[in-house]
Structure 1
């Protein structure tokens, strides 16, 4: 149900249904806009499918049209589904993994406040090149071939956004994410030391949930919140995008819950430096 063709059809169906309901009511776009406290231009973009309305937008429009509850319920459900996007990793591999890096860069350059929840692995914004290479290589023989070197270069270029002090980043990791040995011990040591250095940037916070913390929630997925606009969630097979404000708020509340059990500031930086030293010692 989350394949792109199905999603596109849902969005078209939603736009068509809202347009048909307005026309059946006899209201002009201008009159409906006044009732909904929206601009006429936004109503037009929603009805033509150029703008995907949020669930709240749809509820306001249906209320303005006086649509019966049984019809409203179905359209609100359609709006919730239309605001969920899914892309399989095999699609990015086919197009080129560097394309995914470009997409992420565009998201980061259009956002002011970003919250990364990282229970399994540090995000690409924190990678050293050798670690990035290991994370982008194929892990299964059935996975599509990929241009790893180009994707790594694109990932490194993305990291320039961390020096833009008008943007703020909170990276919340579990101890598992820091210690999981995805690469050789020297690379793991470099990776941990690099994260400790990045944590010194004034617009960056890195927080760590230690194994010893008792946390009343389970870290199921990596997710990233971009302002109050959307949430991306990583799965083994692909990525889900949620745009419903209620979903964004839920993930922000979840993030804050996990953050309340984390090491922060100097404590988190010291933890990362200890991990780097331990990886070096294990190398022998």
Structure 2
């Protein structure tokens, strides 16, 4: 967990403790507040000590139970700032994959140039429905989240209409391994590779492949997406990171540029895709 995230969670916990100990009704002990809320008192101390992330409902209930309903707006603002950086999959996927897709679609809508790097998957912006279905299904199994696979697939495919918007640019690079990873049945992967071939030459899409044999200026680590110069979204197993501070966005842009320098495009990229299609 990032240091910045933990500092923000600690600060939120300290504010919750302040509300508990200095409310207009007088100081409440942890067990007293827990009894009012119907929570185990251990949850009170976990929240106050930054060892558990509060939900919006938790904050609403806390403010009301301590006699400070006027503090709700402030607390929710702190939570929003905290979650703008680390968004756990457990919390995001509580209602399924569709809401996550809708949040990403909103960011796409306000973006002119999208930079994408993927090291092991075909990027969502160019996935076929069958490939996307396989990815969503396996992720739902891993996260034990509600299965709204078909809704999520439809949302992802609708977002791909932006590929044909003359006012947008999609600069996509991926590791050659993404062309070969059997995260889906072989027939689905074959159709997915056909889809990639069809995008080469589209004036709104720059599609590059980093070959296995390419000299690398930086190691091909986790995937990330850069939205203009204002936001980076990177995925880990436990959470999705939304990064918007200028210095960090610049690091990801430099990383993308280094990876792009090892990529091939156009006819050379087509040859690598064809090689993968032929099982070479």
Please, what TM-score do these two structures have when normalized by structure 2? 0.69
1:128 aligns with 2:128: yes
Displacement, 1:178?
A: 1.3
Q: Which residue of the partner structure matches residue 263 of structure 2?
A: 262
Contact 2:112–2:169 (Cα < 8 Å) also in 1: yes
Displacement, 1:137?
A: 0.6
Q: CA 1:148 to 1:6, structure 2 compared with 1: closer, same or farther past 3 Å?
A: farther
- Please list the CA deviations of residues 249-273 of structure 1 after superposition, one character each: whole Å capped at 9, or x if unmatched: 1111111111101111221123223
- Please list the CA deviations of residues 220-275 of structure 1 after superposition, one character each: whole Å capped at 9, or x if unmatched: 21111111101111101120111111111111111111110111122112322332
- Kindly report which structure 2 residues correspond to 1:147-166, keeping only aligned pairs within 5 A, or say none: 147-166=148-167
Q: Which residue of the partner structure matches residue 222 of structure 2?
A: 221
Q: Higher relative CO (CA 8 A, sep ≥ 6), structure 1 or 2?
A: 1
- Please list the CA deviations of residues 40-95 of structure 1 after superposition, one character each: whole Å capped at 9, or x if unmatched: xxxxxxxx98xx9xxxxxxxxxxxxxxxxxxxxxxxxxxxx969611122223212
Contact 2:90–2:143 (Cα < 8 Å) also in 1: no
Contact 1:168–1:204 (Cα < 8 Å) also in 2: yes
Q: Which residue of the partner structure matches residue 179 of structure 2?
A: 178
2-side partners of 1:95 and 1:274: how far apart? Answer: 40
Q: CA 1:144 to 1:260, structure 2 compared with 1: closer, same or farther past 3 Å?
A: same
Q: Where does structure 2 lack aligned partners over 5 or more consecutive residues?
A: 15-72
Q: CA 1:200 to 1:11, structure 2 compared with 1: closer, same or farther past 3 Å?
A: farther
Q: Which residue of the partner structure matches residue 200 of structure 1?
A: 201
Q: CA 1:230 to 1:136, structure 2 compared with 1: closer, same or farther past 3 Å?
A: same
Q: Which residue of the partner structure matches residue 102 of structure 1?
A: 102
Q: Which residue of the partner structure matches residue 246 of structure 1?
A: 247
Q: Which residue of the partner structure matches residue 144 of structure 1?
A: 145
1-side partners of 2:134 and 2:121: how far apart? Answer: 12
Tell me, what secondary structure is at the counterpart of 1:247? helix
- Please list the CA deviations of residues 137-174 of structure 1 after superposition, one character each: whole Å capped at 9, or x if unmatched: 13546622321111111111111111111110111100
- Please list the CA deviations of residues 94-123 of structure 1 after superposition, one character each: whole Å capped at 9, or x if unmatched: 122111111111111101011001011111
1-side partners of 2:142 and 2:103: how far apart? Answer: 26
- Kindly report which structure 2 residues correspond to 1:60-75, keeping only aligned pairs within 5 A, or say none: none
Contact 1:189–1:277 (Cα < 8 Å) also in 2: no
Q: CA 1:5 to 1:150, structure 2 compared with 1: closer, same or farther past 3 Å?
A: farther
1-side partners of 2:170 and 2:13: how far apart? Answer: 35
Q: CA 1:102 to 1:7, structure 2 compared with 1: closer, same or farther past 3 Å?
A: farther
Two-structure CA RMSD over aligned residues (Å)? 3.1
Contact 1:105–1:158 (Cα < 8 Å) also in 2: yes
Displacement, 1:124?
A: 1.1
Q: CA 1:184 to 1:83, structure 2 compared with 1: closer, same or farther past 3 Å?
A: closer
